[in-house]
Structure 1
Amino acid sequence: MTRASTRGRFAASLMATVLVMSGCGTTVFTDGPESDPAVPLVLQPPPDLVTPYPEPVVRGAADTGRPGAVLEVEDPPRGPIPVITELGAIVKRVEYRSTSGLDRSPTVVSGIVVTPKGEPPPGGWTTIAFGHGTTGVLDDCGPSEYVNLIGSDEIIAALVLNGFAVAMSDYEGLGMRDVDHPFLDARTYGYNMIDAVRAARAVFPGLGDTWISYGVSLGGMASWAAGELAPTYGGGLDLLGTVALVPVSDMTGLVERAEKGTLTADQVPMMAYLIDSLARVLPDEFDRDDYRSEFLRKNWSEVLRCIPIDVQQTQRVLNSIGVEDVAPHTPEAAARLRDHLAATSLPVGRATAPMLIMYGTEDPLIAAPWTERAIRRSCAAGSPIQAMRRIGETHAQLDSGQSVAWMKSLESGWKPPQNCGDRP
């Protein structure tokens, strides 16, 4: 594939999914930053969410020094998140303590926490730890800093309408200045997700100790990792289950494709993000120029723009990038990258709560065999998985409508089926 023939669809495909939120009369269809305006968005709040109950209690920062401790609580910096606040929900941006997956050092991470308005159910609201898709790798790419949460606002609104509180981490290095983001490090994402739930409970006393890990694309990696880390890292919380939709999974296959020149157009910018992230996080091990062409070096700042802050400009640059622009220059460089991805990809532990993993066979970003490889390893570790292989569906078009009903059923004590024993 030549530079001229490559089409950069990354900004749309990495963020996108077709998400059908069922239950409580709520349906959301979203296709990344440029959703089809003809597709309906139906947000019908159930009666109990519009009853004039007293405002939820909101607590301020209280630094205990422990993971999940809240250092800052503020209103969203660019004003209300309309699609969420119009429901009566309370939205706060927080900065909270978490842990690095690379060296287990303490970190500070930002994110958004949301509580429904109204009387909490007995035991408090169940919290969804929502994992967002890729928004970039620079420190100004945190969704919590944007009025539409860089495309996550409608999904969060639908979750609130289904009776959940929501905690969305920006992930380490996104949203906090002068902090580097460890792109594709599953363990870091998992820690950040779990601690976002702790932070949400610290801010909103109406939240209970039950939670569900839920994410799409890169957020699917985050939710999967959180589910596997919960038994060892999630003390004090009661994880009901995990949903990972089109998850970024075992990414070692990126290196082989880069070496062979068979990366898809969707995977080329992903490699660029990975190269830049590693050069920042592990500068003694990774040099950008071991993996990028001279052409790409000259256009580097354009490639790294946050998604989808300037989609058109970024798209023009991505359209000009070919697979030859992000290939390891030496076998040694390829081996370093492969070893790193093997150490930071899924799985990261053994889950004890149920897991639902949904993926498409025609995914141009995360190849189905990569996800299946991670599923087999998680099954071998003993994780209770229900895997759904959607024939003919892609990264941007996955019918995930049953995922919300699956989560709602967990609250009622339902035990989902497992199919690890049926997988090749």
Structure 2
Amino acid sequence: MLIRRVGIIVVAATMSVLPVGAVQAEPEAHVPGTVVRDEALPEQLWVAGTATARRVTYWTRTSDHRSALSTGVVFIPAGIPPSGGWPVLSWEHGTVGLGDECAPSTAGRSERDLDYLATWMKQGYAVVATDYIGLGTPEPHAYLDGRAEAHAAIDMVRAARAVDDSLASKWMAIGQSQGGGGTVFTASLATAYAPELDYRGAVATGPASNVVEAVSLIGPGMPAIESAHLTAYITYVMVGLKAARPDFDIDSYLTSLGRQLTTAAATLCFPQLADRAKGVSVAQLFSRPLADGDFVATARPVLDVPLTGYDRPLFIGQGTNDTDVPAPLTAKLVIDLELHGVRPEVHVYPGKDHSGTMPASVPDSIPFVARRFT
């Protein structure tokens, strides 16, 4: 692999004296996208159609612009790159959990995600895939902190181009669920955050949005909804906000059971947390309504999707039977964007649930992406 400078500082000389597998401590002001570790990805973690794959550790920024490390993977497709290099898709994954062992670059990916990414690689795109800050790196993972997720996805492109010179500067963001919301954030920030790259647009399916509106209705007096998945998601939101804004007293809203579950959520991957949450309703987590106090004012700057800054086309796909990201929340997102002059290309998939929206969207998203790269 060739190491080069592409609008960032790559510490090739530093890495040459580090022990294998070591991560160099870097100053607070280190340049986003700088690679501090580069290693081959084991083949059992490859996406079908991969010719080579690297796992990198790189510098990025939190939502409040502090330096932080993230990890991610660079998947290079088989074949000869086109003139100018492989166009790049920066993948933002859905909810996997908050613990280090949940990071897709080491834990692997679901069959759903593997099939989806393989479809894109067959179209002739390199795929780069951030783990996000805190999944396998020292910072806690601020779940649904969209600016931090966007920074990690954009800086993943910078890092990937630093370790592989077959990648073009033109790129797009794609993502599902948590990553779908992160992709919408990315679409609003990409050009301003990384002007040296050639950002072309974004594809978001089942995008997390309007989270504050939804959770602000929650409190101890709400009807008992016993959905282990919903309880797990809400628990992750609480832990994620605490990670993003550590000075905010989240515990003051939680019952003893709620504090126990949030403590467990900080290390458990989603399937394990959902198992732990069986029989626990959302109402049992809270000692007072989230509408009380400063919760909403604290959460909005972290969780609310931006409504301005979109300078390239945005594709939004939504299934009508999605219970993880219900269609009305996405409909509100689209309305809010349109009221601010943003015109996303919206595709609704009747009868499709959260996961089913991904393959259902492919016949529409493939030509959407192809047009952006012509």
Q: State the TM-score, normalizing by the size of structure 1.
A: 0.74
User: Pairwise CA RMSD of aligned residues?
Assistant: 2.6
Matches of 2:245 and 2:265, distance apart in 1: 20
- Contact 2:257–2:285 (8 Å) recurs in 1: no
The structure 2 residue matched to 1:188, chosen from 130, 148, 155, is: 148
Matches of 1:328 and 1:406, distance apart in 2: 47
Give the match's secondary structure for 2:277: helix
> Structure 2: which amino acid aligns with 1:367?
P
The CA deviation at 1:300 is 4.9
- Contact 1:360–1:391 (8 Å) recurs in 2: yes
Name the structure with the higher helix share. Answer: 2
Residues 251 and 93 (structure 1 numbering): CA distance in 2 closer, same or farther, change over 3 Å?
Answer: same
The CA deviation at 1:384 is 3.7
- Contact 1:347–1:374 (8 Å) recurs in 2: no
Residues 287 and 88 (structure 1 numbering): CA distance in 2 closer, same or farther, change over 3 Å?
Answer: closer
- The answer to whether structure 1 residue 404 and structure 2 residue 372 are counterparts is no
Partner of 1:227: 187
The CA deviation at 1:326 is 2.5
- The answer to whether structure 1 residue 291 and structure 2 residue 253 are counterparts is yes
Matches of 2:66 and 2:46, distance apart in 1: 36
Residues 58 and 116 (structure 1 numbering): CA distance in 2 closer, same or farther, change over 3 Å?
Answer: farther
Residues 330 and 251 (structure 1 numbering): CA distance in 2 closer, same or farther, change over 3 Å?
Answer: closer
Matches of 1:88 and 1:203, distance apart in 2: 16
- The answer to whether structure 1 residue 118 and structure 2 residue 83 are counterparts is no
Cα deviation code 1:306-360 (max 9, x no counterpart): 435xx3x54432222112223352567x443322332222126321111110112
The structure 1 residue matched to 2:11, chosen from 47, 63, 66, is: 63
Partner of 1:278: 241
Which runs of structure 2 are paired with 1:121-270 in the superposition (5 Å)? Answer: 121-148=82-109, 152-177=113-138, 179-259=139-219, 261=222, 265=227, 266-270=229-233
Question: Which structure 2 segments of 5+ residues have no match?
Answer: 13-29
Cα deviation code 1:267-293 (max 9, x no counterpart): 2211111222333443321233x3333
Q: State the TM-score, normalizing by the size of structure 2.
A: 0.83
- Contact 1:129–1:223 (8 Å) recurs in 2: no
Partner of 2:20: none
What is the identity percentage for the equivalent residue pairs of Structure 1 and Structure 2?
25
Give the match's secondary structure for 2:180: helix
Partner of 1:350: 309
Question: Which structure 1 segments of 5+ residues have no match?
Answer: 1-56, 413-424
The CA deviation at 1:406 is 2.1
The CA deviation at 1:199 is 0.9
Structure of greater relative contact order (alpha carbons < 8 Å, 6+ residues apart): 1
- Contact 1:229–1:349 (8 Å) recurs in 2: no
Residues 350 and 161 (structure 1 numbering): CA distance in 2 closer, same or farther, change over 3 Å?
Answer: same
Count of residue correspondences: 346
Residues 100 and 283 (structure 1 numbering): CA distance in 2 closer, same or farther, change over 3 Å?
Answer: closer
Cα deviation code 1:1-41 (max 9, x no counterpart): xxxxxxxxxxxxxxxxxxxxxxxxxxxxxxxxxxxxxxxxx
Give the match's secondary structure for 2:53: strand
The structure 1 residue matched to 2:59, chosen from 84, 97, 105, is: 97
